[in-house]
A and B are shown apart, each in its own frame.
Chain A
């Protein structure tokens, strides 16, 4: 009985001497491995991001320089083509319609600015900034009044151009612009101005929200050419059609 009692007393002590160091070993191993893994994951992910960004940057600049080359080639070829007169005249007209050449003429410079008025309680701040629909309304009004060429912040409006909110910027021809928006239109300047500023018209409605629509007529408005390269992937000229 005496021995048994001693044994009972001794065994937990012995166990403790073995177990606690063993557990400490596992613990030390686990903690170290965990810390290393976390560090490794962090360094790996940030490193990967960096290299990826660099790679994309390289690709982007390569594509840009390639675009420039091709644009030069196009303008060279166009000059050659313009040499032949009849075809040249037709080409110039087509280019004007397509927005591939700068055009100049009488027209209107419209500047749209976000409202500076602070929104009152209960009013949405969203109503005080220019939206894509506001710009589309202005563009539509100008077209209705016979505008022949249009640009927003010198981005030519093409037949395929989108005007769309992209976050708090505006996306046109896939380029981003933020307010103020300067819309240039070539056409009958008085007609354009009257169409825009008529009572109950686009500018009038927008002014209720404090959005400024400034229309300044001019005799020598420059509407710049589309800076990109028109690219039709799906549409092909139909044969036999006219």
Chain B
């Protein structure tokens, strides 16, 4: 079962890097700015999205990537963290810190798992990946 997904990591990583580069280029040349009052929401949303992306990458490496989990996590986590920030601003509590702590921690955890996976399967990756 695991074998058929061994092909994945290299190509997906390449595609992911290409997507990231395209996104950065789009962001650089996008003529609009985010209004100052919204930047905290966007920042928290981005953190949630980053968590989803890293989590998706890890799942793909481990071979149990699920599109529905990935998509729902991406959109719902982003929305939820933004809502949390908004709710926190209503209550005058920095509630977005909860999102920062949770997603920040998970990014590290997922990254650690990716690192371990890559380190443990160096030969297979370099041979098969195209």
- Residue numbers of A with Cβ under 8 A of B are 9-13, 15-17, 19-38, 40-41
Contact of A25 with B39 at beta-carbon distance under 8 Å, contacts A16-B65, A19-B70, A20-B60 already known: no
Q: Is B101 an interface residue (CB 8 A)?
A: no
> Is the beta-carbon distance between B60 and A23 smaller than 8 angstroms?
no
Contact of A16 with B8 at beta-carbon distance under 8 Å, contacts A31-B27, A36-B27 already known: yes
> Is the beta-carbon distance between A25 and B65 smaller than 8 angstroms?
no
> Is the beta-carbon distance between A20 and B15 smaller than 8 angstroms?
yes
Q: Is B22 an interface residue (CB 8 A)?
A: yes
CB of B79 to closest CB in A, whole Å: 14
Q: Is B20 an interface residue (CB 8 A)?
A: yes
Residue among A9, A12, A23 making CB contact with B53, cutoff 8 Å: A23
Interface positions of B from 17 to 71, Cβ below 8 Å from A: 17-24, 26-28, 30, 32-36, 39, 42-43, 45-46, 49-50, 52-53, 56-57, 59-60, 64-67, 70-71
Size band of the interface chain B makes with A: 35 or more
Q: How many A-B residue pairs have CB under 8 A?
A: 131
Q: Is B125 an interface residue (CB 8 A)?
A: no
Q: Is B102 an interface residue (CB 8 A)?
A: no
**A-chain residues with CB within 8 Å of residue B18 when the two chains form the complex:** 21
CB of A82 to closest CB in B, whole Å: 61
**B-chain residues with CB within 8 Å of residue A21 when the two chains form the complex:** 12, 15-16, 18-19
> Is the beta-carbon distance between B21 and A33 smaller than 8 angstroms?
no
Residue of B nearest to A12 (CB): B65
> Is the beta-carbon distance between B67 and A28 smaller than 8 angstroms?
no
Q: Is B120 an interface residue (CB 8 A)?
A: no
Q: Is B121 an interface residue (CB 8 A)?
A: no
